[in-house]
Structure 1
Amino acid sequence: MVVGDVTTGTEVLVVGAGPAGYVAAIRAGQLDLDVTLVEKDAYGGTCLNYGCIPSKALITATNVAHEAATAEEMGIHADPAIDLAGMMDWKDGVVDQLTGGVEKLCKANGVSLLEGTARFADENTVRISHSGDGQGSESLEFEHAIVATGSRPLEIPNFEFDDEPVLDSRQALALESVPDSLVVVGAGYIGMELASVFAKLGTEVTVIEMLDSILPGYDDDLKRPVKQRATELGIDFEFGYTASNWHDRDGGGIRVVADPAEQAAADGGSEARRATQSTDETADGTKTAPDERLEFDVENVLVAVGREPVSDTLELSAAGVETDDGGFIVTDTRARTNSDHIFAVGDVACEPMLAHKGSMEGKIAAEVIAGEPAAIDYQAMPAVVFTDPEIATVGMTESEAQEAGFDTTTGQFPFRASGRALTTGRTDGFVKVVADDGDGFLLGASIVGSEASELVAELGLAIELGATLEDVATTVHAHPTLSESVMEATENALGHAIHTLNR
């Protein structure tokens, strides 16, 4: 490409080099399409650079330190010294290796890489602005476009990320020193993952959540071990509150002010974060409906209330592409927008915001452009929360299956009955499967426990292939392994589990 006030062309334009965009570009290159990939920041996108990968690296590192420090029961006595700079260097090395690999893979598959910010000029042209003095801009004409611009953290009133003590997840993952104290606003998956990381680094952590429990959208039996573990780590929770403001304190640090969520809503709080609070006690023993203002003296505040699609920077109206009220680009089952030659994939297209979902959509979009009979199917889409312990789900929950008209049967196996789990010292949690009571076809599964993120893959494959309880139960699983718990859960549903009482 020639930088300057010129117009060039490409068969397929991909905007955004995150897991959705770079996968789409590589797949399109494999299908012998002429592809140009435009990225304004870093190859690999938020996931590889500022989200999934660095956060999981720090989760692993802090888990190693915490497990070493709390392994007295195994006869191990240690007091690990944490070198945060060294930990961050290791994390950055992992990120650099992966992002460098993305760039090499793109080039190896014939993808042209272009750095800059793309905005639609019309339905077949984008204008690309290059950063840096004297870099200028250029026009790029395309036959097909795939928009994969991802998402960004949501800000809340009075907590702008430009303010030094206020952190988003990206800033929290790049801190040069461990804060002595931290307020985390939001008990969703990002807030809970990072709360555990900092608690294991020795930070005093308080989580403020306007709802009445952690991890909205997950069943209580999955959340309960996570909440219990977080409490054991010393994390404090204030449910039914919303962070309303903060100010500097004399002598250093800040004071975070939180008001009851109902009052904040009445005073004009964020619609996206409003909820009706109950005065009942929740399944994990948390009381809701607070009635007084709270104040927290801390070093930093981390805002993790969710993410929003990055669609407002693209000038989509120039291309006639529609978005919904939430800013998501509207697509069909083939990733097409209302404009047949423009596609959208990943976080910018729809919930759930999952990197692997975006990658799958990227492949589908490339294959549709190449004339392949491809379509999106979310039936066996796994979701993972890398808390301690982990949560993983795939397919339908029991209630969802019943609402869909299935007569269900379930099976469950607790990790406390697993020989392998006992040898790891982590026996919290279970595997649960949901199946059709008539034919035994697997409909869904949920896991909470160590390595849930790995165990869910087998169940996702089973659902994708239309496997039955009998299929999984009669598949021999190696011993001693955590994966035996999957087999035992299906056996439990059939009424003949060996290592737990049958229902």
Structure 2
Amino acid sequence: MKEISCKLLVIGAGPGGYVCAIRAGQLGIDTVIVEAGKPGGTCLNVGCIPSKAMIHAAEEFEKVAHMAGGSSPLGISVAAPVLDLGKTVAWKDGIVSRLTGGVAGLLKKAKVKTVHGWATFRDGKTVAVETETGTQIIRAETVVIATGSASVELPFLPFGRPVISSTEALALSEVPKKLAVVGGGYIGLELGMAFAKMGAAVTVVEALPRVLAQYDAELTRPVVKRLTQLGIEVMVGANAKGVKGDALLVETADGKSARIATDKILVTVGRKPVTEGWGLDQIDLDMAGKFIKIDDQCRTSMRGIYAIGDVTGEPMLAHRAMAQGEMVAEIVAGHKRSWDKRSIPAVCFTDPELVTAGLTPEEAKALGEIKIGQFPFAANGRAMTKLGEDGFVRVVARADNHLVLGIQAVGQGVSELAAAFGLALEMGARLEDIAGTVHAHPTQGEGFQEAALKALGHALHI
């Protein structure tokens, strides 16, 4: 097979890789992208997008089921709903297909050559790609590694019936009657709550003292309350030990052994970078633990090799990978670029949703005296009309010059406030900037303005 030579080679067509390739193509760079699966990576195919589709379907089903009980405060009564999970999954797959097809079209539009197959480094400038028609050799002046991450597998709970990862959970043909979730982080709770709404009896097993431990306890309190309302049993300080028959074996917080009867065991204990199988041993890259070490411009320790996205460490967010990919493409094109992760928002699509951007109150306190403004959605008209009073918006700022350091929110639909939070931090907003911006009424976004006003000492509606 004829060799291919290019200026830029991107390995992996996930959010970071495909954005990098598209931007490079727009800038006139001769670009090749290699992907073994479908374009879009984990996020589009088996992660962000399909999980949010299933979460939405679960929310809609629960709303109707609640109305069927005759207890809806909206005065709506309906017949008992029936969920056809197979049809739901087909709808989800249709969305995924449209998006992955769209990515392929965008790459073609940007004149990026796509090679389907698994890439393996031969040296720092050359890779061999195993394709359906044979081995394709690609030589490039610059290489971008965007191989992403994969679900962590526990040695005592290997994937395979009945143990599943989030990928298999999003493709089930029917709702399990009993579901055990090992890991109480954002993935476990997002999917656990969704399946509970669809009718599963869910038990969450978390080794740490509380679920969603990466967030502060005050922020997660409404989510913990909702877990109880959904009938989800949460075992904290507990360790999964294995599976025997139709039961998950657990060591409880007090050291006792327990058996949790279950149809499926969903393991969501984190993700690991994909650093094996593509010839990392053939190139000499410095590592930061299990991740590829990069500088603030995503350069690795080898000249001409960049790395972006999950393979480079936390935060493992699709939009972080996209920002890195865009930046690297522009650097390769000769532009002066750098990036700062401090203003990147993170969203947890539990019920209610969580949004964080910048520093937490504790992190900010370590830097000096701060001001905190917090506004409850119980005092927000729009939240009340959506039955979403449980939650709040919180703004953290320096006490001396009121520079905003961090913003957090928990509540129904607050994921859509992430853009405003990120923009405020990116632009270096002060409390007065947010408080002085006229926010539309009635919206939940008013809570952002009110939180800033509260920090300044003159909130209007509390």
Which residue among 258, 278, 281 is the counterpart of 2:250? 258
Which residue among 265, 269, 279 is the counterpart of 1:301? 265
Q: Which runs of 5+ in 1 are unaligned?
A: 249-253, 261-288
Secondary structure, counterpart of 1:74 in structure 2: coil
How far does residue 379 in structure 1 lie from its aligned partner after superposition? Answer: 1.7
Contact 2:370 2:396 in 1 (8 A): yes
Corresponding position of 2:116: 115
How far does residue 426 in structure 1 lie from its aligned partner after superposition? Answer: 1.0
Corresponding position of 2:162: 165
How far does residue 80 in structure 1 lie from its aligned partner after superposition? Answer: 2.1
Instruction: Give the aligned residue type for 1:313.
Output: G
Corresponding position of 2:148: 150
Instruction: Give the aligned residue type for 1:99.
Output: T
**Inter-partner Cα distance in structure 2 for 1:492 and 1:469:** 10
Which residue among 39, 45, 50 is the counterpart of 1:43? 39
Corresponding position of 1:274: none
Secondary structure, counterpart of 1:231 in structure 2: helix
Corresponding position of 2:127: 126
Contact 2:144 2:305 in 1 (8 A): yes
How far does residue 14 in structure 1 lie from its aligned partner after superposition? Answer: 0.3
Secondary structure, counterpart of 1:489 in structure 2: helix
Instruction: Give the aligned residue type for 1:13.
Output: L
Corresponding position of 1:97: 98
Corresponding position of 2:430: 468
Corresponding position of 2:377: 415
Residue 363 (structure 1) aligned with residue 355 (structure 2): no
> How many residues align structurally?
457
How far does residue 365 in structure 1 lie from its aligned partner after superposition? Answer: 1.1
**Counterparts in 2 of 1:376-391, with a 5 A limit?**
376-391=339-354
Corresponding position of 1:265: none
How far does residue 35 in structure 1 lie from its aligned partner after superposition? Answer: 0.4
**Counterparts in 2 of 1:205-216, with a 5 A limit?**
205-216=202-213
The runs of 4+ residues in structure 1 deviating greater than 3 Å are: none
**Inter-partner Cα distance in structure 2 for 1:323 and 1:116:** 26
Contact 1:124 1:319 in 2 (8 A): no
Contact 1:157 1:244 in 2 (8 A): no
Instruction: Give the aligned residue type for 1:430.
Output: F
Corresponding position of 1:312: 276
How far does residue 322 in structure 1 lie from its aligned partner after superposition? Answer: 2.5
Secondary structure, counterpart of 2:210 in structure 1: coil
Corresponding position of 2:406: 444
Deviations 1:53-84 (A, max 9, x none): 00000111111111232251111123322111
Instruction: Give the aligned residue type for 2:55.
Output: I
Q: CA RMSD in A?
A: 1.0
Contact 1:68 1:76 in 2 (8 A): no
Q: Which runs of 5+ in 2 are unaligned?
A: none
How far does residue 319 in structure 1 lie from its aligned partner after superposition? Answer: 2.2
Corresponding position of 1:16: 12
**Inter-partner Cα distance in structure 2 for 1:152 and 1:400:** 29
Which residue among 56, 60, 63 is the counterpart of 2:56? 60
**Inter-partner Cα distance in structure 2 for 1:492 and 1:325:** 42
Which residue among 321, 330, 352 is the counterpart of 2:315? 352
**Inter-partner Cα distance in structure 2 for 1:28 and 1:369:** 8
**Is 347-356 or 239-248 further displaced after alignment?**
239-248
Secondary structure, counterpart of 1:379 in structure 2: helix
Which residue among 485, 490, 495 is the counterpart of 2:447? 485
Secondary structure, counterpart of 2:340 in structure 1: coil
Residue 372 (structure 1) aligned with residue 339 (structure 2): no
Secondary structure, counterpart of 2:241 in structure 1: strand
Secondary structure, counterpart of 1:110 in structure 2: coil
Contact 2:86 2:172 in 1 (8 A): no
**Inter-partner Cα distance in structure 2 for 1:412 and 1:247:** 47
Contact 1:9 1:140 in 2 (8 A): yes
Secondary structure, counterpart of 1:335 in structure 2: coil
Corresponding position of 1:333: 296
* Residue identity (%): 45
Q: So what's the TM-score if we normalise by structure 1? A: 0.89
Instruction: Give the aligned residue type for 2:403.
Output: F
**Inter-partner Cα distance in structure 2 for 1:361 and 1:8:** 26
Corresponding position of 1:406: 368
Corresponding position of 2:219: 222
Corresponding position of 1:200: 197
Secondary structure, counterpart of 2:288 in structure 1: coil
**Is 421-430 or 452-461 further displaced after alignment?**
452-461
Secondary structure, counterpart of 1:492 in structure 2: helix
